[in-house]
Amino acid sequence: MSNIIELDHVTKKFKNKLALNDISLTIAENKIYGFRGPNGSGKSVTFKTILGFVRPTTGTVKVEGKIIRKDVIFAPDTAFAISEYGLLEDKTGLENLELLKVLNEDQSSDSKKIMQRVGLNPNNPLKLKEYSLGMRQRLLIAAALLGDNKIIILDEPTNALDEEGQDFVAKLILELKQEGKTVLVSSHDKEFLDQVADHIFVFSEGRIVKEIEKQSGLA
């Protein structure tokens, strides 16, 4: 199984704060990787570095063989649910997805089906600004499912979701793996990651302090 993402001695400093401290990791195709740790431990910054939103202070990030911020500015073939990048507050969920779809010249995705897949009603007339936190979370995941990206990065996807919502996210992640995707998911919920991930990186103060390899996720 080939490595689709490689981080080599990556550090990231924000002013005087060391957010990532010598992170090296490899991500193989078609597996689920969990990133666990308390808030501020470096999980989100790692994701943003992989995506190309953040430039590493030192070290290199490779995604599909391309060096981020050298060969390309943003990671290729990667979708994400990190924050409301690119989503418009005064549009409905469906309008937001349709707009992203058209901008992406994506003919294959069916926005309505994707909304239903994440448990949202595509006919809901509410605008994004009227969405609850849980609905926003689901819409972010829906946006990440647009297109046919090989890598999907989900940052704290269970935040603001009730127990039923968390089970749904776990099921969805396992389905994505079955579809051949590589999923990177962060959470501070140990149980949730134990349930879905094949491999877990435990973060603390910008470092990976532990790696846990599992036989397989609960498929």
Q: Judge whether 46 and 207 are in contact, CB under 8 Å.
A: no
Nearer to other proteins, 59 or 119 (CB): 59
SS3 readout for the chain = CCEEEEEEEEEEEECCEEEEEEEEEEEECCCEEEEECCCCCCHHHHHHHHHCCCCCCEEEEEECCEEECCCECCCCCEEEECCCCCCCCCCEHHHHHHHHHHHCCCCCCCHHHHHHHCCCCCCCCCEHHHCCHHHHHHHHHHHHHCCCCCEEEEECCCCCCCHHHHHHHHHHHHHHHHCCCEEEEEECCHHHHHHHCCEEEEEECCEEEEEEECCCCCC
Nearer to other proteins, 51 or 196 (CB): 51
Q: Judge whether 196 and 162 are in contact, CB under 8 Å.
A: no
Q: How far is the CB of 85 from other proteins (least distance, A)?
A: 6
Nearer to other proteins, 115 or 170 (CB): 115
Q: How far is the CB of 54 from other proteins (least distance, A)?
A: 5
Nearer to other proteins, 5 or 196 (CB): 5
Nearer to other proteins, 40 or 119 (CB): 40
Residue 173 burial by Cβ neighbours in a 10 Å radius (0-12, 13-18, 19+): buried
Q: How far is the CB of 216 from other proteins (least distance, A)?
A: 29
Nearer to other proteins, 85 or 210 (CB): 85
Residues in contact with other proteins by CB under 8 A are 48, 51-55, 69-70, 73-74, 78-80, 82-83, 85-86, 88, 90, 99-100, 102-104, 147, 149
